Amino acid sequence: MLQSAIERLGAAATNLVFELGRMASFLAVLVLQLLKPPFRFRRLVRETYDSGVLSLALVCASGLTVGLVLGLQLHSVLVRFGAEESLGAAIGLTLIRELGPVLTGLLVTGRAGSAMATEIAVMTATEQIDGMRTMAIDPMHFVVGPKALAITLAMPLLSSLFIVFSIIGAYLVAVQLLGLDAGVYFSSMNDAVEFRTDIVGSLLKALVFGALIALVATFRGYHSGRSAEAVGRATTSTVVTASVCILLADYVVTSLWEF
């Protein structure tokens, strides 16, 4: 009884290390293929459309609603201390440092990461990937590389948009609804937010999260089984793994960058 439990633990640990190793070698191949000419610019544009442009409406709408709620909630807390002048600073810092990159990362995982994993998994399952190899086209270079690069590069842009829409949302609530002065709102934000630590840090986070989503989604899709069930599993595990990775990486990047 006890022995079998320990055996299961050992098997799980071995499996985890094995998966991590496969992922690392996948990443190494991916980076090498991205650096190798020819640079597939047209493929990159197409993939940016799929993962960036199609996520645009979702990210902007979510940003706006997050801003509206955040404005309302923070105002009700700050007004107790008579510090509602600091609303702009609170909104700016929380969004730029944390909520912007993290929430955008989770949204993009659900919207674009899952679609990307499914697409690659279906290509694997229907042997299109094998077909490419037969035609001497490297699928890592033609399919996986542009997809991974597109989502990595789209993330900082989407995250910036999310933050701007949240700032507008909070502005609508704080200034238009609750009567805070617009100048006070923006000047307190301006005073609190700094370029190097806050904005560069925010972009760095978005870039790291984008790379994580790209790696997890392409890896899960590429190494999925060949059944319909396996495609579904690849999609689910992409969303779960990428979300957890983003939240863990958020702590790591924050502690390395800001402290």
Partner 1 sequence: MQTSPSRDLAVGLFVLIGLAALAYLTLQVGGLSTTGGLVLHANFTQIGGLAERAPVVISGVKVGRVEKIELSDDLDARVTLEVDDHLKLPVDTSASIRTAGLLGNQFIELEPGAEDALLTSGGEIALTESALSIEKLVGSLVHDAGLSGDEEATQ
Residues that bind partner 1 (CB under 8 A): 42-43, 45-46, 48-49, 52-53, 56, 92, 96, 154, 156-158, 160-161, 163-164, 167, 186, 189-191, 193-195, 198-199, 202-203
Minimum distance of partner 1 from residue 254's CB (angstroms): 18
Q: Nearer to partner 1 by C-beta: 103 or 163? A: 163
Burial of 144 by CB count in 10 Å (0-12 exposed, 13-18 middle, 19+ buried)?
Answer: buried
Q: Nearer to partner 1 by C-beta: 44 or 122? A: 44
Q: Nearer to partner 1 by C-beta: 52 or 169? A: 52
Phi, psi of 258 (to 5 degrees): -100, -15
Cβ-contact 212, 145 below 8 angstroms: no
* Amino acid letter, residue 98: E
Minimum distance of partner 1 from residue 91's CB (angstroms): 10
Q: What share of the chain is helix, strand, coil (3-state, %, to 5)?
A: 90, 0, 10
Q: Nearer to partner 1 by C-beta: 162 or 219? A: 162
Q: What sign for the dihedral angle of Cα 117, 118, 124, 127? A: negative
- CA separation (Å) from 88 to 98, 163, 243? 15, 13, 29
Minimum distance of partner 1 from residue 207's CB (angstroms): 12
The three-class DSSP label of residue 86 is helix
Minimum distance of partner 1 from residue 195's CB (angstroms): 4
Minimum distance of partner 1 from residue 198's CB (angstroms): 7
Q: Nearer to partner 1 by C-beta: 151 or 234? A: 151
Minimum distance of partner 1 from residue 129's CB (angstroms): 17
Q: What sign for the dihedral angle of Cα 63, 96, 99, 24? A: positive
Q: Nearer to partner 1 by C-beta: 158 or 216? A: 158
Q: Nearer to partner 1 by C-beta: 96 or 140? A: 96
Minimum distance of partner 1 from residue 42's CB (angstroms): 6
Provide CB contacts within 8 A for 185, sequence distance 6+. 87, 88, 171, 174, 175
* Amino acid letter, residue 122: V
Identify which of 31, 215, 199, 26 has the alpha carbon closest to the alpha carbon of residue 105.
215
